[in-house]
Structure 1
Amino acid sequence: MSSFSQINTNIQSQRAFQNLSDTSEELANRRERLTTGLRINSASDDAAGFEIAKGLETKTGSQQQALRNIGDAKSALSVAEGALDSQLNILQSAREKATQAANGSLSQDERDAIAGELQELVGEVNDIADSTTFNGDQLIKGGTSGDSSNSVGLTFQTGSESDQTFDVNINNSTGTDLGVETDLDASKAASTASTGGQSVDSGDFADTQVKTPLEGSVTASTTGSGNLAGDLEGGSFEVEVAEKSGTSSKVEFRVDGNTFTATNTTSGSSFTAQTGSVQLSTTGGSNTIAFNPTTDVAFGPADVGTDGKT
């Protein structure tokens, strides 16, 4: 009996066992700190420090994601910049072609060939606008989300806070948006438009903008109408209308940024001036018609030659 009582009351052995347990737990904590490299690995190590560390860890994660967002933004803008640079090179080539077409030594066939090249260049501009995308979104075409209704608006999250953003607006950059494409509105016509009816025979391409020559004609039924609008800014031009049919065919053009409309009606043709001035002359003759911004001029079939030229 005395031996069992002696073991159960061995206080020194119990203290030694407790010290071994504490030492083992401390060694485990030290081993974890050495493994993770962190002083605080759980709330039991330091409750206040653990809370601060978790907050910093969350903010660091947000900052890292913001850096990735900035990388994506740079990639998207680089795609748009490359596309716009390519379009600029094409427009410079188009300007050179337009300057070449202004040379009086060229024949009409040569001018027609240049007009075809200009149309191909405009097509390249539109192809670039169509293919410029990032993650499936158009960057320089069809945008309405920007500051204006004709631009693409992009918002990049560049920080961990909700107000740390960067806004970018990219204007649409198709041939129509750039003002280098003849606009044929076929949706208003009852029948399809054919080509070859209109051409710019001569002119002074002194304008700083590159404009494509008018190409095509509009044939409409008596119930429909076709609208062929072209931009002719600066200089003087001779416009030939080879065929006109229907009762409401219309040709629009601009002089110094001002719009003029020629309408073929049953009683003849008329030009209406909104602002600016324009002078019309008959082919092969000395007769001219001039009017100012406040005057509308109308002329009947007798004033139009049999070849359809005005």
Structure 2
Amino acid sequence: MDAPAQQHQYSIHYLRALAALMVVACHCFGYGIVPVADMRAVEWLRHGVAIFFVISGFVMVVSTTGRDIGAGEFLMRRLIRIVPLYWLATLAWGLLWSDLAPDRLIPSLAFVFLLDPVLPMARPPVLAVGWSLNFEMFFYLIFAAALFVPQQWRLYAACAMLLAYAALASLLPLPPQAAFLANPLLALFAGGMAMAHFNLRLPVICAPLGLAMMALVPYATDSVVAAVLVPAMLIVLGARSLDGRLPHWKLPALLGDASYSIYLTHIFVMQFIAWYVAPHLPGVALVPLAIVAASVFGVAVYRMVELPITSFLRAALRARRQRLALSEQAA
């Protein structure tokens, strides 16, 4: 999501920060920094990714409504936003703690799921958190195709393509990499798009209710709909009712800006803490330390790496567009 376009919608922007920090908090336990007896008590925090998916669907509609933007330009903007930092983080992780074998690296950089050599399941990419970007990129392709449709039908076209893909995957023996994308999580993108298209919102109480559902429903059922899809939608719909009432808070706004960098790079911090810090500090101190350290590191990466690179590439894209416009005028 491009933060500048969302500054007037603080509910969405602040939710980006919350979603990133939820994933960070989950990995304080998932990376073995702090032991926990029942992972269900903390595993729900990983569904911060689900909130990201809803936000992504929302923002794609908001950022293209009323604008004359073609599929090519849209995809180029998305690639500029997503690819450079992800590739850098993937290469850094591979060099430091994994490997850069072509059979793992190339699919990871291409946003294609890796196949488990034994089980019929997907393996995480070189940078484990990159699994969610495979879904993001797939959604961007669907949305880019929908841009060929008149604006008033764009939502329906994108939702129809998502539904058709899910149906196709259930009817035909697709290659495993393609079949893995036919996941219920795709409904979150559709929900976010509908939320923006119809300007949907619910009372603010729905936001904490959604968080409570994420935390508690897994104890009763493993239903993805009840434990992930409905709660994520409630969180965003409830938060949206605060638009127009939320002030500009510097720290949440900064964390929202840096949420992508925090999400991609926090596992570097987790690995460092697990190896060098965790043996010397009690668990009660490690969680806040890890969250703060991951946030500080992510903000630093955002300011020193992500922002300069994306600003440079966006400027280059604008300059190219201007040159093309001038050449067309001259012709």
State whether TM-score is above 0.5.
no
Between structures 1 and 2, the one with greater helix share? 2
Structure number with higher relative contact order (C-alpha < 8 Å, ≥ 6 residues apart):
2
Task: Give me the TM-score of the superposition, normalised by structure 1.
Answer: 0.24
Task: Give me the TM-score of the superposition, normalised by structure 2.
Answer: 0.23
Between structures 1 and 2, the one with greater strand share? 1
Larger radius of gyration: 1
